[in-house]
Amino acid sequence: MESTAIAAIELLSDQRICKQCGGSFIANRKHQRFCTPAHKEQYHLDKRHGLKPKSHTSIILVAVQCYPNHTAPELATIVGLTNVQVSRRVCELEKKDIVQRSDEKRWCVVSKQRCVTWREVE
């Protein structure tokens, strides 16, 4: 089971969630956060003009929906946020009954320890 999870994470290691549109894309560079240059530019223009960019919470929710049963560190890698940011937001989403913890912990290839996984409330 753990080797299957490790293989899945290695395949998904380049998968990311765009900070502008929330869509899934395959990153070409290690720190790429946007699916297209236009989304990167629009994100920074919106930010410069005081418009609120897509919130971390909504980005993390999309990641949990697209990648159920992943740990917070794995989701952080996918969305390009820190582990702390993701951990706090999934706990907030759990309190609102939007996401839930899985019943069992599994080995996380990012943190190298056993972690809970997250999925959308059914």
Helix 72-79 and helix 56-66, axial crossing angle in degrees, nearest 10: 110
Average pLDDT taken over every residue of the chain: 82
Domain at 26, CATH number: 1.10.10.10
Portion of the chain with pLDDT greater than 70, in percent: 85
Query: What pLDDT does 1 receive?
Result: 47
Domain count along the chain: 1
More confident residue, 104 or 12: 104
SS (H, E, C) 73-122: HHHHHHHCCCHHHHHHHHHHHHHCCCEEEEEEEEEECCCCEEEEEEEECC
For residue 50, the enclosing domain spans 2-120
Whether the CB-CB separation of 74 and 110 falls below 8 Å is answered with yes
The Cα-based distances of 103 to 106, 115, 116 in angstroms read 10, 11, 8
pTM: 0.64
Q: Specify the amino acid at residue 88.
A: R
63-113: pLDDT as tens digits:
888 889 999 999 998 888 889 989 998 998 899 898 999 888 999 989 899
